């Protein structure tokens, strides 16, 4: 008798990298996550959302309850997503300025982050970006984001064996397996919060 494989409900994930650097390892983590969903993590569709075009937060740019077109488009992408995947580099023990800027634009009335399930991954030096994750989780409390608690994902990008290639793509198979576990957890948590 053939085993019946259950079809997993599809969730749409908006993926944001706090690093806008061309060869960013954190953005490389998101590319790896996108590839994993195509190869071995069914039920997830990830869309990378580029936050680099967002202007610096400035309420003078809000006119009659509307925002600049690039901000409106960004906010709409977040609203349409079922959950959020953050890749958060650590800058001075905290989140990066581009990521904080995106969070702030999304928090303006109406808060588009509210009630979204979320996961955070990071890579960097010795702590693998872990300190930024704790600050992001604190910000998430006010924004009504609901982060998965486990598994946590931090990655020391510079400790052997090689984790990334010259273009910033994740090549470490063990790290890919850990990343896969995050995606599976985010999928389950999202469905749970949706009551499915």
pLDDT tens for each residue of 133-183: 999 999 999 999 999 999 999 999 999 999 999 999 999 999 999 999 999
pTM confidence score: 0.95
Alpha carbons 124 and 136: distance in angstroms, whole number: 16
Range 87-104 average pLDDT: 97
Q: Residues 36, 70: contact at Cβ < 8 Å?
A: no
Contact 115, 144 (CB under 8 A): yes
CA gap 2, 146 in Å, rounded: 38
**Predicted confidence (pLDDT) at residue 7 exceeds the cutoff of 80:** no
Domains parsed from the chain with CATH numbers: 11-57+66-193 (3.40.50.360)
Q: How far apart are CA 48 and CA 16, in angstroms?
A: 6
Helix (H) / strand (E) containing 119: strand 117-124
Query: pLDDT tens digits for 46-94?
Result: 999 999 999 999 999 999 989 999 999 999 999 999 999 999 999 999 9
Distance in angstroms (rounded) separating the CA atoms of residues 138 and 27: 22
What pLDDT is attached to residue 4? 46
Asked whether the predicted pLDDT for residue 6 surpasses 70, the reply is no
What are the residues whose beta carbons fall under 8 Å from the beta carbon of 102, sequence distance 6 or more? Answer: 16, 51, 54, 74
């Amino acid at each position: 008798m053939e085993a019946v494989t259950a079809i997993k409900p599809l969730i749409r994930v908006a993926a944001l990298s706090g690093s806008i650097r061309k060869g960013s390892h954190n953005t490389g983590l998101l590319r790896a996550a996108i590839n994993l969903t195509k190869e071995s993590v069914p039920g997830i569709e990830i869309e990378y959302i580029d936050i680099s075009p967002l202007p610096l937060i400035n309420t003078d740019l809000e006119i009659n309850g509307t925002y600049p077109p690039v901000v409106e488009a960004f906010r709409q992408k977040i609203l349409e997503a079922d959950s959020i995947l953050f890749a958060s580099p650590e800058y001075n023990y905290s989140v990066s300025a581009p990521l904080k800027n995106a969070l702030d634009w999304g928090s303006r009335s109406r808060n588009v982050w509210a009630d979204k399930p979320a996961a955070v991954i990071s890579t960097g030096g010795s702590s693998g970006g872990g300190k930024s994750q704790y600050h992001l989780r604190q910000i998430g409390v006010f924004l009504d984001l609901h982060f998965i608690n486990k598994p946590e994902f931090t990655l020391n990008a510079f400790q052997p064996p090689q984790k990334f290639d010259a273009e910033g793509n994740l090549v470490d198979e063990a790290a890919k397996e850990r990343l896969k576990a995050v995606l599976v957890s985010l999928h389950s948590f999202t469905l749970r919060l949706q009551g499915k």
